[in-house]
């Protein structure tokens, strides 16, 4: 801890020097939950630099400890990096197995056979394909022929910093998945000669409410059909949890709404002819807008999305004694050219009521 404290003190001195020289500016504005503050730069007279980044750290590897003195990089330097070379560096690391390999040898030096076993690779040929690329980039060294692999000392901090930056950008992978869903909507919605059926999104939401009822936590569901092509499904279940999942700062509700690769977070509904189930995250991806309201622990929460991307954090908007979840969906008009049909919804409600007699289903319409 003393070493960390010393590094922090050096960083603070470096920051103060930057403030004194005018290279760094102080902003006395509130800091958001993710540690970022934003202000209008009205007092910038045009001479201030774009800013700078300051970092330091330590890394223990076996019996050895690496410590880096405080470093500074001006934003201008970073923005003027050779784009082609920077892209090559990122491309060399842009493979899950290569990152897994580097992270493994940062924990302890490993032989090729040990890496194959640890990473679950099928063949040594698959491993050496990645090793060759990493060695060529100077990101991996071998003790001797047939010996253990490790990361060069001077590469440890840059790689850790890259992983730290990636950690702040992890959620963008979910949004890339959502773009993929929109580009391949038929995989989820099945083939449709006259355009995709928006009712499939409603049926998928109802499926989650039905499962909540079968688990003993939901007595009623209300469907509101609005005049703007949107629909709301509101239940009186437990409400989707809003606290962050373990080892992450992402609220559970946001994971449910955005993680395409984790369909187990909600109950998927399979459309006729669809190859994959329609989860809540898939519904979000196929929607122009989506809002989720949660009533849980005597608090009302809300989060809004557009094309699956959060437009806000999870906000507290009120108090309540009720519990439940309300999801309002406006299907993407490019994917769903037609709107909701009341007669079709009424027929579906009748089918669900017959199959689930203990669940109360109500329908309200306001289509003008």
Q: How far is 240 from 255, CA to CA, in rounded Å?
A: 11
The CA distance from 349 to 206, in Å, is 10
What per-residue confidence (pLDDT) applies to 268? 85
Instruction: Kindly give the interhelix angle for 199-214 and 342-355, rounded to the nearest 10 degrees.
Output: 20
Q: In Å, how far are 3, 97, 336 from 69, measured between CA atoms?
A: 11, 31, 56
Position 124 scores a pLDDT of 81
Please tell me the predicted confidence (pLDDT) of residue 94. 81
Name the CATH code of domain 190-365 (choices 3.30.300.30, 3.30.565.10, 1.10.1060.10, 3.40.50.150): 3.30.565.10
Query: pLDDT tens per residue, the chain (368 residues)?
Result: 566 566 666 666 666 666 666 555 555 545 454 555 556 655 554 445 678 888 888 888 777 788 888 888 888 888 888 898 888 888 878 888 899 999 999 888 999 989 999 988 877 888 888 898 888 888 899 988 778 999 888 888 888 888 888 877 777 777 888 899 999 999 999 977 677 999 999 999 999 999 999 999 999 999 999 999 999 999 999 999 999 877 777 899 999 999 988 877 788 899 999 999 999 999 999 999 999 999 999 999 999 999 999 998 999 999 999 999 999 999 999 999 999 999 999 999 999 999 999 999 999 998 55
Instruction: Give the Å distances, CA to CA, from 41 to 15, 16, 25.
Output: 20, 20, 11
The end-to-end CA distance of the chain, in Å, is 66
Q: What is the distance between the alpha carbons of residues 231 and 366, in angstroms, rounded to a whole number?
A: 10
Residue with tokens 């920051």: 15
- Domain ranges within the chain, ordered by starting residue: 1-37+46-80, 81-169, 190-365
Q: What is the pLDDT of residue 275?
A: 93
Q: Give pLDDT, residue 17.
A: 67
Q: What is the pLDDT of residue 145?
A: 76
Is beta strand 220-225 parallel, antiparallel or unpaired with respect to 360-365?
A: parallel
Whether the domain at 81-169 and the domain at 190-365 fall into the same CATH topology: no
**pLDDT number for residue 198:** 96
CATH code of the region 81-169? 1.10.10.10
Residue 138 is predicted with a pLDDT of 86
Read off the DSSP letter of residue 251.
Answer: B
Q: What is the pTM of this model?
A: 0.68
Distance from chain centroid for Cα 126: 29
């Amino acid at each position: 801890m003393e070493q960390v404290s010393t590094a922090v003190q050096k960083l603070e001195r470096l920051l103060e020097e930057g403030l004194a020289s005018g290279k760094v500016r102080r902003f006395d504005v509130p800091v958001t939950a993710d540690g970022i503050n934003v202000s209008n730069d009205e007092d910038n007279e045009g001479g201030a630099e774009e800013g700078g980044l300051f970092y330091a750290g330590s890394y223990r590897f076996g019996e050895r400890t690496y410590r880096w003195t405080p470093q500074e990089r001006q934003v201008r330097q970073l923005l003027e990096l050779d784009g082609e070379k920077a892209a090559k560096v990122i491309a060399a690391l842009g493979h899950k197995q290569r990152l897994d390999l580097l992270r493994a040898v940062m924990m302890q030096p490993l032989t090729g056979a040990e890496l194959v076993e640890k990473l679950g690779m099928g063949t040594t040929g698959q491993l050496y394909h990645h090793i060759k690329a990493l060695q060529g980039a100077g990101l991996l060294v071998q003790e001797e022929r047939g010996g253990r692999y490790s990361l060069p000392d001077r590469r440890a901090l840059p790689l850790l910093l890259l992983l730290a930056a990636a950690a702040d950008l992890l959620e963008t992978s979910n949004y890339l998945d959502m773009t993929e869903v929109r580009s391949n909507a038929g995989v989820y919605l099945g083939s449709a000669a006259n355009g995709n059926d928006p009712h499939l999104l409603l049926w998928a939401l109802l499926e989650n409410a039905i499962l909540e009822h079968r688990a003993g936590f939901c007595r009623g569901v209300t469907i509101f059909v609005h005049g703007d092509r949107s629909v709301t499904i509101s239940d009186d279940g437990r409400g989707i949890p809003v606290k962050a999942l373990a080892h992450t700062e992402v609220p559970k509700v946001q994971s449910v709404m955005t993680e395409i690769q984790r369909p187990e977070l909600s109950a998927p509904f399979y459309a006729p002819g669809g190859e994959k189930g329609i989860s809540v995250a898939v519904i979000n991806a196929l929607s122009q807008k989506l809002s989720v309201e949660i009533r849980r622990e005597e608090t009302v929460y809300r989060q809004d999305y557009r094309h699956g991307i959060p437009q806000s954090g999870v906000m507290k908007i009120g108090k309540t004694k009720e519990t439940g979840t309300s999801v309002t969906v406006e299907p993407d008009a490019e994917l769903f050219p037609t709107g909701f049909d009341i007669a079709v919804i009424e027929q579906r409600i009748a089918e669900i009521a017959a199959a689930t007699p203990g669940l109360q289903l109500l329908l309200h319409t306001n289509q003008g």
